[in-house]
Amino acid sequence: MEINGEMEQRPVIDGPTNPVVSSLLSDMYQFTMAYAYWKAGKHLERAVFDLFFRKNPFGGEYTVFGGLGECIHFIANFKITEDEISFLRSTLPSSCEDGFFDYLRGIDCSDVEVYAISEGSVVFPRIPLMRVEGPIAVVQLLETPFLNLINYASLVATNAARHRFVAGKSKTLLEFGLRRAQGPDGAISASKYSYIGGFDATSNVLAGKLFGIPLRGTHSHAFVSSFMSPDEITAKTLPHSNGSDSCDDFVSLVQTWLSKLQSVESFRGSFSETSQSELAAFTSYALAFPNNFLALVDTYDVIRSGLPNFCAVALALHDLGYKANGIRLDSGDLAYLSVEARKFFCAIEKEFQIPSFGRMAITASNDLNEETLDALNKQGHEVNAFGIGTHLVTCYAQAALGCVFKLVEINDQPRIKLSEDVTKVSIPCKKRCYRLYGREGYPLVDIMTGENEPPPKVAERILCRHPFNESKRAYVVPQQVEELLKCYWPGNSGKEREPLPTLEKIREKCINHLNQMRPDHMRRLNPTPYKVSVSAQLYDFIHLLWLSEAPVGELQ
Amino acid sequence: MEINGEMEQRPVIDGPTNPVVSSLLSDMYQFTMAYAYWKAGKHLERAVFDLFFRKNPFGGEYTVFGGLGECIHFIANFKITEDEISFLRSTLPSSCEDGFFDYLRGIDCSDVEVYAISEGSVVFPRIPLMRVEGPIAVVQLLETPFLNLINYASLVATNAARHRFVAGKSKTLLEFGLRRAQGPDGAISASKYSYIGGFDATSNVLAGKLFGIPLRGTHSHAFVSSFMSPDEITAKTLPHSNGSDSCDDFVSLVQTWLSKLQSVESFRGSFSETSQSELAAFTSYALAFPNNFLALVDTYDVIRSGLPNFCAVALALHDLGYKANGIRLDSGDLAYLSVEARKFFCAIEKEFQIPSFGRMAITASNDLNEETLDALNKQGHEVNAFGIGTHLVTCYAQAALGCVFKLVEINDQPRIKLSEDVTKVSIPCKKRCYRLYGREGYPLVDIMTGENEPPPKVAERILCRHPFNESKRAYVVPQQVEELLKCYWPGNSGKEREPLPTLEKIREKCINHLNQMRPDHMRRLNPTPYKVSVSAQLYDFIHLLWLSEAPVGELQ
């Protein structure tokens, strides 16, 4: 297929083919159903499925859509290999006929069409993120992989966006989750979709390599503990940053600065003896990275040891024309410690006339999440960058987004999935979806219509109805109308294919979309739900179909 | 390396190499530290790290250890490729010297030793799951991938074991989490480690293929909705199970049975009109899988439609010598519905003299977790098998296990990581670990000793001390002593290598270990903590080292 060639040109968005993403990455029942459809001669019937979720995660009122590129990559490469067919044959009941395996051997997604909202968009419950059309047996085989690829991607992108919202636009956000993520690929997905959701960098080197995400990292507590004292440092020479000259004994220069610091009247008493192990580690790290000196200062005691040791090294670097990057705090009262660190840096700037020493970067990590960021904001802090791991990548606050994949039409017959729980009733029909914008440029409401209804028009009044609640309805006069579902996989339809954007473009779209939302939808406490509606015509049809399908009860 | 050849013989445990598990699956700071170690001439210093966790997950008092095989596989294949070196060179500061990249090019794990508790064991806080020794720069590169491979594997195996504990040994447990898992590999790991933790089967076809885990699956609601009425079934012939004869019109046979059911006096009123769409779907499914007929009965209404439709098809199958498998319930009050279904099956057994029809299998799914299983048990239910997805695979109740990797010795010098939070203080020294068993065969306590202390002896009294709490100590006379850390990767030590067992053996070990525990450690409510201790000698040493490292405060 032509698209394969084209997609291989897009390593940034698609990454290398993930070989665990085989056509067997599916639930067993998709294959048993495929057999039953085939056996009934029903496998080629044209079906339409919607992929959507029912509730925004994390108690919020918005979701970021991620994973579309991977789904398109999946169908572009969808093919069941001989080896996989042998496995299926050994697993399915032996009564399954050979013709079925011949059928499986021949299928691909050339007859499937995928319409989707653009990746990185802000999305809402019940509006299809994707509409997938094609032969029912094939489309069902796509259900599980699509759900797998979208559920977590969207969840973690949303989580990242929420962390960005609390941290504020000026802060640097670092994804540090590799060690706590759910397996290697969970970690790589976490890095990718956290970046889309607004993070600035990751610690995950492989994700950096695969997707071009900026990398960040310096050293750990073990690095500090691995040193005993500055005596063990043998290579002590550091050239001046301008190359002009060299300092023969950087270790002594650091010691000199530490003594100077200890003799400053106003610092006296706050520290007298700092850890020699830590001082050696910092000095060594600076010798290795004189242009990128950032030290983890909490191995022993931030105030009494880490900060003065860091400053002694930073000042020694300054003598040689280098500029230290800053510190990282990984324990304790981050608000208090960051404020104390800032005061100390400013005092040094003043005492030794070192311009901008007071603006030294402070990074904080240690089990951060939305709540702790919010608490830090309330307490007041001096942190410039946050490293966030466990809570971000595992989506600790809510570990799953419940996307579902529902049949809405077969052979041009609309289908509805009923449930005693009205929130679980699916919205039937092949639909079109629009986002209507108001006078101030904010999105006002999303509306679903039947495939063949005329689209909403700018400046023309349209009735938007709640899909299930008769009394909830409103007229809207849109200032702008955006059709949400675009054709990302045309199959044999001859339609034009929407190109897959790069990761950077998706991230940009996401950040722009989030900024465009009316603030009351975005706030953490009691956000206003964004409205999702159906056209009057679709409303009437849903309720007609509902009545015709629902069993009539007997009160006894 | 010889082991590579040997490991390729073990596809069941190691699976195909997961290519996302590259040597770059690590935090950036492991590489910046490697450079700083190299630059300081310190990279070959021999370090010992412990991998352990501090708290059992899910509010319980035990954890199942998973992921060891993948770690050993990782180090067996550890090698930084030219391509990866180019990437690192482009990412690290340009001041990094060429010699470092030559060094990286040459490293492997031939000089690393790994000692570990056997995979599938029940394990406890603070006892090292793994002890990793080797050149400090190399061992630090292993930190992040090991934590990644073990944290989630152990968490989900523990979660599976906890679900098994509540469900009881007689129930069948099915892992249905693929669509909600954290990425493709998260799903595959979930299937693998849920199986180790005591689940019986998975829906994930790829995991079934990779690891030989039994597969289960039948059909979804969409399958039911895709049919309109039995009129659309054209191929109606079903041969008798003994091959003797054929039924030319299985659809009519089903209709006949449905009418018979509707005419039974005692059933009358409970259903009069069942869904024709559902009846068609069930009939079709039975025609495809006459030996494996299991139907999802809640698309319309379990009592009024799903159950009678299922029974009509099951009875028609019975006429032809087949035995239906059962039903699946995926919504509503599972306790009530399963009891009603059981009553109905028993009534049919009696009414039509169909032996064992009453013992039809009932599978339940729909957002199940430990709490809902417990609630079902309390209400009384007739479910034989549970399908568990989201809560199992995302570890919803606690989405991360906080394994850490701490330096405990370098150049034969013990190291301690202090913290103001005593639970975060690490236990220094290269250690040995033992499990001591009591008279009834239960494990009593785990004890850590220094590397060179004499091991505890059977029938000899030994003092077991809490590592940090002076007053907590007890004498124990073990009836059996088990050394916990075994050599899984001998490096150049010449020691014998413990073989990696198959997945089935790991699962068996896990189930046996869980059964062997004293019941009060295992209960869901207020379980008794299992005791973890240090020898008297190690206790004294920890506290000596602690005092020597801790800064002395000044009260102001």
Of A93, A225, A396, the CB nearest to B400: A396
Report chain B residues whose CB lies below 8 A from the CB of A48: none
The two beta strands, A385-388 and A361-364, are: parallel
For the cut 90, the answer to whether the pLDDT of residue B555 exceeds it is: no
User: Same domain for B26 and B155?
Assistant: yes
What are the tokens at B177? 């989490």
Give the integer Cα–Cα distance in Å for A169 and B394. 30
User: Same domain for B347 and B439?
Assistant: no
Distance from CA of B476 to the nearest CA of A (A): 35
3-state secondary structure B151-197: HHHHHHHHHHHHHHHHHCCCCEEEECCHHHCCHHHHHHHHHHHHHHC
Contact across the interface for A205 and B180, Cβ inside 8 Å: no
Give the integer Cα–Cα distance in Å for B104 and B135. 13
Distance from CA of A411 to the nearest CA of B (A): 9
The Cα angle at residue B406 between residues B405 and B410, in degrees rounded to 5: 130
Contact A484, A433 (CB under 8 A): yes
Give the integer Cα–Cα distance in Å for B505 and B212. 13
Contact A62, A122 (CB under 8 A): yes
Distance from CA of A244 to the nearest CA of B (A): 16
Residue B198's identity, in one-letter code, is: G
Report chain B residues whose CB lies below 8 A from the CB of A554: 269
Give the integer Cα–Cα distance in Å for A235 and A321. 19
Task: Check residue B16 and give its pLDDT.
Answer: 40
Q: Tell me if B344 is assigned to some domain.
A: yes
User: Same domain for A61 and A201?
Assistant: no
Write the CA distances from A339 to A267, A333, A356, A375, B308, integer angstroms: 16, 10, 16, 15, 70
Contact across the interface for B402 and A395, Cβ inside 8 Å: no
Give the integer Cα–Cα distance in Å for B62 and B125. 8
Residue A80: CATH number of its domain? 3.20.140.10
Query: If we measure between CA atoms, which residue out of B454, B456, B453, B452 comes closest to residue B444?
Result: B456
Give the integer Cα–Cα distance in Å for B253 and B317. 9
Q: Tell me if B65 is assigned to some domain.
A: yes
Contact B527, B535 (CB under 8 A): no
Task: Check residue A11 and give its pLDDT.
Answer: 28
Give the integer Cα–Cα distance in Å for A530 and A55. 12
Task: Check residue B419 and give its pLDDT.
Answer: 76
Q: Tell me if B12 is assigned to some domain.
A: yes
ipTM of the complex: 0.93
Q: Tell me if B203 is assigned to some domain.
A: no
Q: Tell me if B436 is assigned to some domain.
A: yes
Give the integer Cα–Cα distance in Å for A536 and A461. 12
Of B184, B185, B399, the CB nearest to A396: B399
Tell me: the pLDDT tens digits for B86-132?
999 999 999 999 999 999 999 999 999 999 999 999 999 999 999 99
Write the CA distances from A26 to A551, B78, B95, B407, B459, integer angstroms: 33, 31, 48, 42, 54
Tell me: the pLDDT tens digits for A336-365?
999 999 999 999 999 999 999 999 999 999
Task: Check residue B11 and give its pLDDT.
Answer: 28
User: Same domain for A282 and A367?
Assistant: yes
Q: What is the mean pLDDT of chain A?
A: 92
Q: Locate the DSSP E strands across A211-365.
A: 238-239, 246-247, 294-296, 326-329, 361-364
* Substitution target from B185, B219, B320, B368 for chain A, most A beta carbons within 10 A: B185
Distance from CA of A62 to the nearest CA of B (A): 19
Tell me: the pLDDT tens digits for A65-96?
999 999 999 999 999 999 999 999 999 999 99
Furthest-apart CA pair in chain B: how many Å?
Answer: 97
What are the tokens at B424? 């975060």
Contact A26, B205 (CB under 8 A): yes
Q: What is the pTM of this model?
A: 0.94
What are the phi and psi torsion angles at A93 (to 5°)?
-55, 145
Give the integer Cα–Cα distance in Å for A90 and B504. 19
**CB neighbour list of residue B276: distance below 8 Å, 6 or more residues apart:** B228, B229, B230
Task: Please report, rounded to a whole number, the percentage of residues in chain A having pLDDT higher than 90.
Answer: 88
Distance from CA of A184 to the nearest CA of B (A): 6
Give the nearest chain B residue to A274 (CA atoms). Answer: B551
pLDDT bracket for residue A555 (50, 70, 90): low
Distance from CA of A32 to the nearest CA of B (A): 6
What are the tokens at A342? 């800032």
Contact A149, A25 (CB under 8 A): no
Q: What is the mean pLDDT of chain B?
A: 92
Give the nearest chain A residue to B150 (CA atoms). Answer: A183
**Which residue has 């402070």 as its token pair?**
A362
Report chain B residues whose CB lies below 8 A from the CB of A19: 16, 19
Task: Check residue B253 and give its pLDDT.
Answer: 97
A388-415: average pLDDT: 95
Residue B415's identity, in one-letter code, is: R
Q: Locate the DSSP E strands across B443-491.
A: 443-450, 462-465, 473-476, 480-483, 486-489
Q: Tell me if B384 is assigned to some domain.
A: no
Give the integer Cα–Cα distance in Å for A247 and A219. 24
* Substitution target from A17, A29, A302, A545 for chain B, most B beta carbons within 10 A: A29
What are the tokens at B148? 């990644």
Contact across the interface for A223 and B21, Cβ inside 8 Å: no
User: Same domain for A119 and A176?
Assistant: no
**What DSSP letter does each residue of B78-107 carry, written as one string?**
----HHHHHHHHHHS-TTS-HHHHHHHHH-
**What DSSP letter does each residue of B480-544 carry, written as one string?**
EEEE--EEEE-TTS-PPPPPPPPHHHHHHHHHHHHHHS-HHHH-SSSPPPPEEEE-HHHHHHHHH
Task: Please report, rounded to a whole number, the percentage of residues in chain B having pLDDT higher than 90.
Answer: 88
Contact across the interface for A183 and B180, Cβ inside 8 Å: no
Task: Check residue A179 and give its pLDDT.
Answer: 94
Give the integer Cα–Cα distance in Å for A497 and A342. 53
Contact across the interface for A407 and B225, Cβ inside 8 Å: yes
Q: Tell me if A97 is assigned to some domain.
A: yes
For the cut 60, the answer to whether the pLDDT of residue A155 exceeds it is: yes
Contact across the interface for A35 and B407, Cβ inside 8 Å: no
User: Same domain for B69 and B13?
Assistant: yes
Distance from CA of A286 to the nearest CA of B (A): 8
Write the CA distances from B113 to A23, A132, A167, B109, integer angstroms: 38, 51, 43, 8
Give the integer Cα–Cα distance in Å for A327 and A325. 7
Tell me: the pLDDT tens digits for B54-84?
999 999 999 999 999 999 999 999 999 999 9
Contact A54, A139 (CB under 8 A): no
Give the integer Cα–Cα distance in Å for B178 and B205. 10
Report chain B residues whose CB lies below 8 A from the CB of A218: 29, 32
User: Same domain for A224 and A365?
Assistant: yes
| Backbone φ/ψ region at A530: left (φ over 0), alpha (ψ -120 to 50), beta | beta
Residue B304: CATH number of its domain? 3.20.20
Which of A9-18, A91-100, A409-418, B367-376 is predicted least confidently? A9-18
Contact across the interface for A419 and B331, Cβ inside 8 Å: yes
pLDDT bracket for residue B186 (50, 70, 90): confident
For the cut 60, the answer to whether the pLDDT of residue A549 exceeds it is: yes
Helices and strands counted in chain A (H then E): 19, 22
What are the tokens at B52? 């352990």
User: Same domain for A179 and A154?
Assistant: no
Which of A215-224, A260-269, B63-72 is predicted least confidently? A260-269
What are the tokens at B450? 């220094």
pLDDT bracket for residue B553 (50, 70, 90): low
Q: Which domain holds residue A106?
A: 2-163+398-428+485-518
pLDDT bracket for residue A245 (50, 70, 90): confident
Contact across the interface for B217 and A28, Cβ inside 8 Å: yes
Which of A308-322, B355-369, B538-552 is predicted least confidently? B538-552
User: Same domain for A177 and A83?
Assistant: no
Contact B270, B223 (CB under 8 A): no
pLDDT bracket for residue B272 (50, 70, 90): confident
What are the tokens at A133? 């059309």
Q: 3-state DSSP call for residue A87?
A: helix
Tell me: the pLDDT tens digits for B12-31?
333 344 545 789 999 999 99
Report chain A residues whose CB lies below 8 A from the CB of B24: 205-206, 209
Give the integer Cα–Cα distance in Å for A474 and A462. 8
Task: Check residue A506 and give its pLDDT.
Answer: 98
User: Same domain for A147 and A220?
Assistant: no
Report chain A residues whose CB lies below 8 A from the CB of B417: 221-222, 225, 299
Distance from CA of A343 to the nearest CA of B (A): 19
Report chain B residues whose CB lies below 8 A from the CB of A235: 39-41
Contact across the interface for B549 and A300, Cβ inside 8 Å: yes
For the cut 80, the answer to whether the pLDDT of residue A272 exceeds it is: no
**How many domains does chain A fold into?**
2
Report chain A residues whose CB lies below 8 A from the CB of B285: 36
Give the integer Cα–Cα distance in Å for B184 and B160. 19
User: Same domain for B27 and B137?
Assistant: yes
Distance from CA of A421 to the nearest CA of B (A): 9
Of A145, A147, A223, the CB nearest to B33: A223
Report chain A residues whose CB lies below 8 A from the CB of B40: 233-235, 284, 287-288
pLDDT bracket for residue A8 (50, 70, 90): very low
Of A16, A205, A419, the CB nearest to B28: A205
* Substitution target from B17, B18, B24, B29 for chain A, most A beta carbons within 10 A: B29
Distance from CA of A469 to the nearest CA of B (A): 21
Which of A447-451, B268-272, B366-370 is predicted least confidently? B268-272
Report chain B residues whose CB lies below 8 A from the CB of A190: 182
Chain A / chain B CB contacts < 8 angstroms: 377
User: Same domain for A263 and A368?
Assistant: yes
Segment (H or E) for B294: strand B294-296
Q: Which of B364, B390, B423 is the last residue of a domain?
A: B364
Query: If we measure between CA atoms, which residue out of A437, A322, A329 comes closest to residue A386?
Result: A329
Q: Tell me if B485 is assigned to some domain.
A: yes
* Substitution target from A44, A74, A205 for chain B, most B beta carbons within 10 A: A205
Tell me: the pLDDT tens digits for B514-548?
999 999 999 999 999 999 999 999 999 999 998 88
Of B187, B223, B275, the CB nearest to A33: B223
Q: 3-state DSSP call for residue A501?
A: coil
